[in-house]
Amino acid sequence: MQNRILVSACLMGHAVRYDGQAKPLLHPAIERWWAEGRLVTICPEMSAGMQVPRPPAEIANGASGEDVLAGKARVVESTGADVTEEFMQAAENAVTLASQAGCRYALLIEGSPSCGSDFIYDGTFSRRKQAGSGVTAAALKAAGVEVFSDREIERLIERVSD
């Protein structure tokens, strides 16, 4: 099977987000890819043993997923708990699954400290966005997987059909 796609479980309707919700992405391409067996679903945080619901988490001090991977930044919950190790494990699990399943692409939920690819929150829990990638998105990119946000489905469709 060529052109397999790793996809955030919340986009597939699974209630796995920190707040116990899903963010289903309804699009004919998703339905077609699912029927063709192209989609490989993961919630990185749940794969690392994190619970649902859980306190919101952000990458501290305006840093990025790349900074976390380099050991220069931490991921913290709104409670102050450090969940960096869980997010590192989540990223590793996603990269391993993508590799084992032959996923050349990933379709991830935007804004997440794990899956955000264009923007994440700035670490102040004030809902301020900043450009940057979450930990899993950064790890997948570093592993050679092309990452697309849920807002870039049309771009992904073009890439997968190449």
pLDDT tens digits, one per residue of 123-157: 999 999 999 999 999 999 999 999 999 999 999 99
pLDDT of 117 reads: 96
Q: Where are the domains of the chain?
A: 4-160
Please answer whether residues 44 and 91 qualify as being in contact, where contact means their C-beta atoms are separated by less than 8 angstroms.
Answer: yes
pLDDT of 161 reads: 80
Structure tokens at 97: 């699954």
CB burial string 121-144: b at 16+ within 10 A, e below: bbbeeeeeeeebbbbbbbbbbebe
pLDDT in tens, 9-24: 999 999 999 999 999 9
The secondary structure of residue 72, as a DSSP letter, is: S
Starting at the earlier edge strand, list the strands of the sheet with 4-8.
39-42, 4-8, 103-108, 146-149
pLDDT in tens, 92-114: 999 999 999 999 999 999 999 99
pLDDT in tens, 51-74: 999 999 999 999 999 999 999 999
Residue 150: how many other CB atoms lie within 10 Å: 22
Helix, strand, or coil (residue 115): coil
